[in-house]
Structure 1
């Protein structure tokens, strides 16, 4: 295999792409899902990877464009690929079997294949000859009355399903106001408030009843951020200082 090929185990192949903006959007969609190997087959514009619209729509994924390659045929684009998936809105009468992405990806992710995901032209999709070169056809389930997807949208959906099949990415616990506080931080704030409530006479340590467990549940329901925990402890500290 050519030494210049990317080490990324998944390759995205675009055939006869017409619009530079779509190439940039595809690069962005790929990067969001952690993929980097992009190959264009005979795009409409030979300089599409450096056009202004392409770079603008890539929006931070210029590194994907910088590593992308342009080749003349699908055969060249699939060099080193052991399992190629075509994308088509409607099944062919003859050719590889058609699957929904999730249906196929569940088993494909357990294999040792180097996977190629192939997308046709915005104007006419994939030719039968190109589909026949692939091992499977992917058909994204859409509303029966309107199944037209923009190229970048199709890439994003399939890239997401494939990344999920490969294990996905973790989601950091975070709210609009910041990162959620850990259990230790919340318990630390609760102990701080316990000291303060005893000091001001609101809590009788000899007969605490269920005040602290109820406060604990209140804090848990609030889903406090780290900043909010700091605020609560700051209030407790100020109260203690004033009482002292």
Structure 2
């Protein structure tokens, strides 16, 4: 069997299980959190409402991930939800005297990603979390590190954090560029702009050509650090040109 990180494209070996969910909006938001990280296997255990997957709040919060809702399953017990799973991870913030070992997700996932397990992440209901009995069914317990004074995460937020961390452990996705690559101005273009700017500064009376001090060398260093684009150089030359076209005489 191949490892989770090497599964063929399109084969989802990760399951998200929600137990006793009360709010349809959380189910929809969970579907969205899963889909943006490339996961689709969602199972609900005895949700409060039998029609939770089709309620308006669920559909609205899914926001483009309604296909995850359409393919989700509702079962009566956690045992049914874990059918076919080889490693179940509970999510619980409350300390327990007995139960599976507790791990922070990032460090644990780094090891888990290289194993052949079919993984399930199990989440309890919004108000009470997971029962002891459900936690005992799992192989490990995941605890998201939070501020010491307040560690209460919304259900779908917890799903998003674990889905992100697990996806990163599996290799992650490439960042899609949102802007066109900037074409940096050539050294000659920068020098041409500086010459143009020098004329404008003399025209304004800001630069005394008889005693220029080190103004232009300092501006030269400034623009070298800034690494302006070709378009930005064009803008600066347009400003210089507008200054030179004014009728005010230099002081």
TM-score bin, normalised by smaller chain: 0.7 to 0.9
Q: Does 1:130 align with 2:134?
A: yes
Q: Does 1:218 align with 2:226?
A: yes
- The whole-number CA distance in structure 1 between the counterparts of 2:226 and 2:126 is 54
What is the CA deviation profile of residues 130-171 of structure 1, one whole-angstrom value per residue up to 9, with x for unaligned ones?
112211001122233322221111111212222222222333
Alpha-carbon distance, 1:53 to partner: 0.7
Tell me the residue number matched to 1:3: none
Tell me the residue number matched to 1:158: 162
SS at 2:88 equivalent: strand
CA RMSD of aligned residues (A): 3.2
Which of 109, 114, 118 is matched with 2:113 structurally?
A: 109
Which of 61, 67, 71 is matched with 2:65 structurally?
A: 61
Alpha-carbon distance, 1:87 to partner: 0.6
Q: Does 1:181 align with 2:181?
A: yes
SS at 1:122 equivalent: coil
Which of 61, 78, 82 is matched with 1:74 structurally?
A: 78
Alpha-carbon distance, 1:22 to partner: 0.7
TM, length-normalised to structure 1 = 0.74
- The whole-number CA distance in structure 1 between the counterparts of 2:102 and 2:84 is 23
Alignment of 1:6-21 (within 5 A): 7-21=11-25
Greater C-alpha Rg = 2
Asked if the contact 1:192/1:233 (under 8 Å) is kept, the reply is no
TM, length-normalised to structure 2 = 0.72
SS at 1:186 equivalent: coil
Specify whether residues 71 and 200 from structure 1 end up closer, same or farther in structure 2 by C-alpha distance, changes over 3 A only. Answer: closer
Asked if the contact 1:91/1:98 (under 8 Å) is kept, the reply is no
- The whole-number CA distance in structure 2 between the counterparts of 1:20 and 1:68 is 13
SS at 1:23 equivalent: helix
Q: Does 1:50 align with 2:50?
A: no
Unpaired runs of at least 5, structure 1: 1-5, 203-208, 240-244
Which of 96, 116, 119 is matched with 1:92 structurally?
A: 96
SS at 1:169 equivalent: coil
What is the CA deviation profile of residues 161-203 of structure 1, one whole-angstrom value per residue up to 9, with x for unaligned ones?
22222222333455xxxx2534xx2156x5555677789998x
Asked if the contact 1:193/1:236 (under 8 Å) is kept, the reply is no
Aligned residues: 217
